[in-house]
A and B are shown apart, each in its own frame.
Chain A
């Protein structure tokens, strides 16, 4: 037990900031922005402290804070991090101030509410990643929907209604499966051990010690319930259309898109529950999930090429990246899982930064259609060069961040018995296709002749320069020294992989 509640601080600081923003007078926009940014930066500072203090030689949960909530049902407020959630917490804390900064001047109405909702969302997402109690997890999981839905619904484009309905239908469908899964697991655990708990660590320990043994059919059923819930959220093909629509309908500035990208809740849930708790069912389902993942990778990359709306294109890119992530984690070995976790972070960074670029382009031309642009590299050389770094990072150029994680997860998938080289070879095709769609976008917007009316477009403003340079720097640093990412997660990842290995050996 840690004396200082650092995790709760990271979770609740943004929410506190949101309350502060709402408490300020409506007219005082400067103060609202300052409070929002202050709360986000404080959370970021706490998150950096968390990364520094994190004990990388420990595989289990750290910084545990636990308070009984509903003791008779075994529900508690328990938060903690391990090597996997650590980076997702850090990512959320890093991207929140960026999302806030990106919204400056781009949100035309009700900026106060906007700032508050982004902060609430940050709290909710951090909560999902640190919750160690399944019901707490579920509460945070559901809670993130409210701000997300409102953000799309209030500030969205012409089709926001349709987008919101779609978002709702999907998410609801997912939750319908998730909750029975959680309750079912709790129930079975209580039957087997007599302990009423929703605590993931406790259940995991019972499973590993053999006190709690799941019958294969029950395990597969639970696995399936969790999987559907998270696959919709991730999203994995063919559940991806809510995401592309939501991104296309969200306002141009990119702020919400970033928030959406941090929604790696689906992929995180897959590792935390499906892979970690049900190794046998995961090994059983890996080939089938491998197929879905490969379809996600190739299909989304293929469709992305045809998109003319840059945000829709990037949304498909994001779906393709998620395919890689899922492929990696269901390799069920250390390289695959570590690569998958690192790729969650890397993909959110590069794609998020590219969403920002689209917002900046849209602010200059009032369009996100890539046919409306051309030759911007000449008109805005700094923006063009920074965008190129981000595009290359997303493509997976060695030396930039996307490569190390992509390589690790593909290497893991290639050698894993469940996925194997055949699927992985198809996924490698997706690596080539990434260059096709992203360079197509770059070619259309930044290269070619400059249309006369774009020739005088202003280059990056100081705020934009700071945002993009920060992102590009992270992209380069994580590419050259990915040990920063891989080091702290090593123990946790190895432990999960060993869980699967033990199962496979005992079979």
Chain B
């Protein structure tokens, strides 16, 4: 019965094929796509039930369809695995994904290309499931690039428009996302090569169907090896492999220094932002590290770097979120920041805490995006928060749902975000003994609460600033998915509630992580964090709903700019990474391409080398050329020369 795990990705793939080739009607496409993800969700539940029946020391279902690539000793299975870690990821992807599909039926109504949209959404779910279910790194890579492709396709959904948000062209944003992701993908490819070269396999665990060994239980093989860089010293092989993976994670999970594509990705339709750029795809980097925990647990691994990248990204992302004026861009930078939390967690070896936050974040961030979409939809496709204001009276349901999401994200007791975020901070302070990381993360939490307070204040409180808007509440197709997500975001902390450790016990067959023993110190730390966050949330809300409210004007800068000046500007442009890359990489790349193409190929090789050769040929063929200058004749001469040489050899030998 293990083959049923193939049904999980097969349903969305079927949905994609049908929507791409057969379906022509908007309503049919939406229902088909949602139903397929729903079936996939049901199959996931069934597979989880089957999984329960397996012994704890081998809690894993696997099924290989065929041998994907086989050349000599290089063999890779086209096979899936289903273990507790995969199960929770698949549950998130199909569960939240299904809700977002239903929401999209309402949201995309009247769109120019709805069938194509739903086809791509299904393709995304398929690729994401392949990513989390692959039984080897190469098939994971198929999902990894596949979700990147779907991200490209869906960001570029409005490819024929000039702009969606000011200054962001959807086509450019789509290409940027793909290319930046490709940089990370290239690093992952290199990691794959290194892993196969040293372990002789790309399978995570032994594959009994093909008789392949797994590399995760042999991490010790490369423990002592290192790469010699001559004068630059040596780099342990384990560091190199995990470092390459970290680059891949930075690309896919939008971490420093590769996060710049994610804010621009908001040019895609809002359900896409919720599903791909918040709840699922961007978390695949975290999944990659958790799956490869056996490598990152090695003493020589790049785990400390993972922690640093995560913590710094969390902080940078949060500060950038503070100064955004676009409702989705705030959430985008917030996602970067929250992904930083998860990456920091797995960098500390707190894999369960990272997964915990991944799951709760998937719930409340999807909720926030959908609610933001409900706002955007309700006021006629406006995303500029300066045009909003006072929407709590006109969009009451959306407001309540948004507030739940904002409180959960802000880490306010007792909502989901509080528990998962706190587990990471506690781990940093007490277990990883990294007070600096813990302090930065606490500060980041406070900033998070502040920007969510600011956003709630700006959007839902104060006066309606744009008289041209006629807000209307969304229909049931959009409302119910949000309500279900909100119902999850409130008690989401139960997943790994202190003392219950459900997630921890469930994942134990994969991660073998001990249960956290809760101490008074942790309670104190959590209390401090949540009080601080509550304070900053109130501050942010009060400032933008009351104190500065009158100074928020359409088309004008944020009133806080006056007080913070360049610092605010820096936060507004996401600390200028785009600006820097444009000058450091994009323009030099273009200039060099110009140079090579003109100066080198045209004038250098063609001019000097070929031209010279041609001139000497002409000189050689001068006598004949005087009579005729057809090149075919010249060719015939050359051929003749060859034949003469041949005949001369055989006659004179």
- A interface vs B, CB < 8 Å? 73, 142, 145-146, 149-150, 153, 161, 164-166, 168-170, 172-173, 175, 179-180, 183, 238, 241-242, 244-245, 299, 302-303, 305-307, 333-335, 338-339, 375, 377-378, 381, 385, 392, 397-399, 404, 407-408, 410-411, 414-415, 421, 424-425, 428-429, 431-432, 435-436, 439-440, 443, 446-450, 480-483, 486, 490, 493-494, 497
Contacts and interface: CB of A to CB of B under 8 A. Distances in A.
Contact of B596 (A303, A385, A398, A480): A303
B560 interface: no
A100 B172 CA distance: 37
6 contacts: A153-B632, A169-B614, A245-B606, A338-B71, A408-B69, A497-B72
Given A165-B631, A305-B590, A428-B186, A482 B159 contact: no
Which secondary structure characterizes the binding site on chain B? helix
A429 B183 CA distance: 8
A483 B639 contact: no
Interface stretch (B205-213, B379-387, B644-652): B644-652
A73 B651 CA distance: 11
A381 B303 CA distance: 46
B527 interface: no
A24 B635 CA distance: 29
B650 A303 contact: no
A407 B646 contact: no
Instruction: Among B189, B596, B634, B645, find the residue whose CB has the most chain A CB atoms closer than 10 A.
Output: B189
Given A169-B610, A486-B71, A447 B631 contact: no
B506 interface: no
A408 B72 CA distance: 11
Given A421-B193, A447-B159, A168 B186 contact: no
A414 B594 contact: no
B7 interface: no
Which secondary structure characterizes the binding site on chain A? helix
Contacts of B185: 431-432
A410 B70 CA distance: 15
A483 B69 contact: yes
Contacts of A333: 72
B406 interface: no
B581 interface: no
A153 B634 CA distance: 13
Interface string B593-613: 110110001000110011001
Contacts of A170: 610
B197 A168 contact: no
A112 B145 CA distance: 46
A279 B72 CA distance: 19
Given A175-B638, A399-B142, A375 B159 contact: yes
Interface string B295-316: 0000000000000000000000
Contacts of A169: 610, 613-614, 617
A57 B555 CA distance: 73
Contacts of B609: 238
Nearest to B153: A388
Instruction: Among B185, B593, B594, find the residue whose CB has the most chain A CB atoms closer than 10 A.
Output: B593
A54 to B, nearest CB: 17
Contact of A244 (B172, B601, B646): B601
Interface stretch (B173-181, B333-341, B413-421, B539-547): B173-181
Nearest to A135: B646
Contacts of B159: 375, 377-378, 446-448
A303 B601 contact: yes
A482 B68 contact: yes
A334 B160 contact: no
B14 interface: no
B161 interface: yes
A149 B631 contact: yes
Contacts of A168: 631, 634-635, 638
Given A338-B71, A448-B159, 16 more contacts: A169-B614, A241-B601, A244-B601, A334-B71, A375-B159, A378-B160, A385-B20, A398-B141, A404-B68, A428-B189, A432-B182, A432-B186, A439-B175, A443-B171, A448-B169, A494-B72
Interface string B378-415: 00000000000000000000000000000000000000
A431 B650 CA distance: 49
B587 to A, nearest CB: 13
Contacts of B183: 432
B646 A493 contact: no
A439 B69 contact: no
Top 8 A-B residue pairs of the complex, sorted by shortest distance between their CB atoms: A334-B72, A306-B593, A398-B142, A447-B171, A414-B193, A447-B159, A432-B186, A415-B197
A241 B646 contact: no
A335 B642 CA distance: 37
B112 to A, nearest CB: 8
Contacts of A145: 635
Interface in B229-243: none
Contacts of B172: 443
A157 to B, nearest CB: 16
A443 B617 contact: no
Nearest to B184: A432
A277 to B, nearest CB: 20
A153 B631 CA distance: 9
B631 A335 contact: no
Given A168-B634, A415-B193, A493 B71 contact: yes
A339 B71 contact: yes
A381 B632 CA distance: 43
Given A166-B614, A179-B645, A410-B193, A146 B74 contact: no
Interface string B612-629: 011001000000000000
B649 A392 contact: no
B69 A149 contact: no
B593 A448 contact: no
Contacts of A424: 190, 193
B553 interface: no
B593 A166 contact: no
B186 to A, nearest CB: 4
Contact of A146 (B146, B156, B179, B635): B635
Contacts of B632: 146, 149-150, 153
B322 interface: no
Nearest to A299: B596
Nearest to A429: B186
Given A164-B631, A175-B642, A179-B646, A241 B606 contact: yes
Contacts of A435: 178-179, 182
Interface string B206-230: 0000000000000000000000000
B141 A408 contact: no
B331 to A, nearest CB: 25
Contact of B597 (A173, A306, A381, A486): A306
A448 to B, nearest CB: 5
B3 interface: no
A241 B606 CA distance: 7
A338 B69 CA distance: 11
Contacts of A245: 606
A433 B73 CA distance: 29
Given A164-B631, A483-B70, A306 B590 contact: yes
A218 to B, nearest CB: 17
B551 interface: no
A97 to B, nearest CB: 25
B431 interface: no
A392 B149 contact: yes
Interface in B73-90: 73-74, 78
Contacts of A335: 71-72, 74
B196 A397 contact: no
Contacts of A153: 631-632
B607 to A, nearest CB: 10
A143 B440 CA distance: 72
Contacts of B638: 168, 172, 175
A168 B631 CA distance: 8
A80 to B, nearest CB: 23
